[in-house]
Structure 1
């Protein structure tokens, strides 16, 4: 009985995580991410050609007001013998779009920055290594701007430490998250030639 309870609790905690194991900050509420008609379930493996264009996002079961900030980060970029991060997007000014339908609220923005969308394009590796691309949705503070301490990272997109970025920018923990995987070495052509 005790073993069954422990296993059930472990499975429940795994099912609740919307970010990969070990990623900080961990988030338990799902951000619905759609590439075309494909709904991303946490950890879904996708071809890079399928995720080349910016997705649409929504949330279910909550009433949203105000503005939101969306980040997408690859946490598996090879850098020597270690792995580093690449910021694939940071878009501001997402707002609820119209009336919720079936309990789901769509979020839209006309913003193209501070960092425009860049589709996944992991480089070939032997053995192959799937990259985790994490989506994080934050409440956007009034007068949000990229802090001076983060401008060079924002321009290069390489090596972003999201916890430090959050602290420097005055962001609270993300409200919703999701992630997908793209296999390294997927040789399907992407519109984006950036490796990461």
Structure 2
């Protein structure tokens, strides 16, 4: 399993998602987003999951935390809903059908669920597992270590632990009825610090 096994989609929507992420997100958050794509693709290959909408999964992965940035931080909804609606706006401009726009919103929102049934939402299942790995280290032993090291070398973790930890604590304080509060109460700050990926970087 290698990075080259999972080429990023080269479409207008995929390129626009990267452009938007790089313009508004920090390098650490954008690298986290791209790593999440590779972990999701790796889990799909590991479990021989077919029928993945790779363009949709890429857009959702790249933009799944964009609702945390100041320009898109909606004070009345969770950051995952805010980010999902950014993805809807982007894919509307790219000409996606309304049903597929709704799917990208669902996938972004569901990445913060405790788990997502693969039969309910294939891409949501993959992104939830992938972000769980990159944030808390869940499933780090399932993907080959050389693949983990290869992705981490190309997209380093940098200040992710400190940056995302502070961000989710802020979100939880301002929006106590959202998933951010559950993440904080579940020890996400400590999980970030103890993530085994930190030692592989």
Instruction: Tell me the TM-score normalised to structure 1 length.
Output: 0.26
More strand by share: 1
More helix by share: 2
Larger radius of gyration: 1
